[in-house]
């Protein structure tokens, strides 16, 4: 059985930003493969949510967050998520080399 998946506005913005970056730097085909890798990763996590690494950050707002690398050749990007009852909540998608505690708490830019 798979968990229901929800994707936050910040995660959608992260995906849009990364997709556009790949289009500009490597072309549409690579950008599409990134999204395919993301979709496959989310599907895997919905079936096995415990696969991701439990993260420990000082900020209380980040309690319970987990991460798992995007599939394919995009493993430098991490999917940050929470398990909320029968749902998988995708919180952010970003490069693992970033200042994660700060970046995870950034507000959604409109």
For residue 28, give every residue at least 6 positions away whose Cβ sits within 8 Å of its Cβ, in sequence order, or none: none
Alpha carbons 103 and 100: distance in angstroms, whole number: 5
- Provide the residue ranges of all domains of the chain, joining segments of one domain with +: 4-103
Banded pLDDT at 110 (limits 50, 70, 90): low
Mean pLDDT, residues 39-49: 98
- How many C-beta neighbours within 10 Å does residue 83 have? 16
Architecture of domain 4-103: 2-Layer Sandwich (3.30)
User: What are the pLDDT digits (tens) for 93-107?
Assistant: 999 998 898 999 988
Contact between residue 88 and residue 4 where contact means Cβ atoms under 8 Å apart = yes
């Amino acid at each position: 059985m798979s968990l229901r998946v929800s994707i936050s506005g910040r995660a959608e913005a992260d995906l849009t930003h990364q997709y556009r970056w790949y289009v500009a730097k490597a072309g549409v085909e690579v950008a599409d493969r990134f999204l395919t890798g993301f979709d496959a990763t989310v599907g895997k996590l919905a079936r096995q949510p415990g696969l991701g690494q439990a993260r420990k950050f000082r900020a209380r707002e980040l309690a319970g967050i987990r991460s798992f690398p995007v599939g394919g050749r995009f493993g430098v990007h991490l999917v940050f998520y929470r398990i909320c009852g029968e749902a998988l909540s995708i919180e952010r998608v970003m490069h693992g080399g970033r200042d994660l505690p700060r970046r995870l708490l950034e507000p959604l830019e409109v």
